[in-house]
Amino acid sequence: MKQQSISAPHSRRHFLASGSMGIGSLALSWLLNQDQALAKPAVVRPELEKKQFDLSLKPTHHPPRAKAMISMFMQGGPSHLDMFDPKPMLQKYDGKKFPGDIKYDNAAQASSKVLGSPWKFSKHGQCGMELSELVPGLSEVVDDIVLMRSMHTSVNNHGQSI
């Protein structure tokens, strides 16, 4: 499989073209403010505010043993299906039409073709953790780390699933 460069060079013209909408909206908001044409500030109604998660510390079931933790939140990073999460059924149906029902968030760009990972997975360490060939350095320390597979969402759109 041919590897593509992650960072493509951008020209000044590309930067100005992609940033012009942001600069234009800033200018428009300033002009509207000068003409007193902006809407009045919204009235805050706490009873309508979205409930927040309680992130305060709570007692644990067992005394903690870990001294430190590294959390990798990789929005926009490589897919977990290509690095940490082998799916044998994806490989079985790779390139074929999905046999079940699909709910699309964006039907205009939707495809029912199944796409398996192009990378090979193998078991590593005493624990037998399966990792792809994309993370060879991680395979040397699998017995010293924890891989949590506990996320679940009912939305298949990345931004809303976070």
pLDDT at position 129 is 94
Token pair, residue 143, equals: 């017995």
pLDDT at position 124 is 95
56 in a structural domain: no
Domain count, the chain: 1
Reading the chain (162 residues) residue by residue, the pLDDT tens digits are: 555 555 566 777 777 777 777 777 778 878 887 777 666 777 777 777 777 777 788 888 898 888 888 887 777 778 888 898 899 998 999 999 888 877 766 666 677 888 889 999 999 999 999 999 999 999 899 999 988 887 777 776 666 656
**Count of Cβ atoms closer than 10 Å to residue 138 Cβ:** 16
d(CA 95, CA 114): 5
CB 125 within 8 A of CB 142: yes
pLDDT at position 64 is 84
Closest CA to 138 of 117, 116, 158, 121: 121
Q: Is the pTM of this model over 0.75?
A: no
83 in a structural domain: yes
15 in a structural domain: no
The residue range of the domain holding 145 is 77-99+111-162
156 in a structural domain: yes
pLDDT at position 10 is 72
pLDDT at position 70 is 83
Closest CA to 3 of 116, 93, 134, 95: 134
121 in a structural domain: yes
Q: What is the DSSP string of the chain?
A: -----SS----HHHHHHHHHHHHHHHHHHHHHHHTT-SPPPPPP-GGGSPPPP--S----SS----S-------TTS--HHHHT---HHHHHTTTSBPSS----S-GGG---B----SS-EEEETTTTEEEETT-TTGGGSGGG---------S--SHHHH-
105 in a structural domain: no
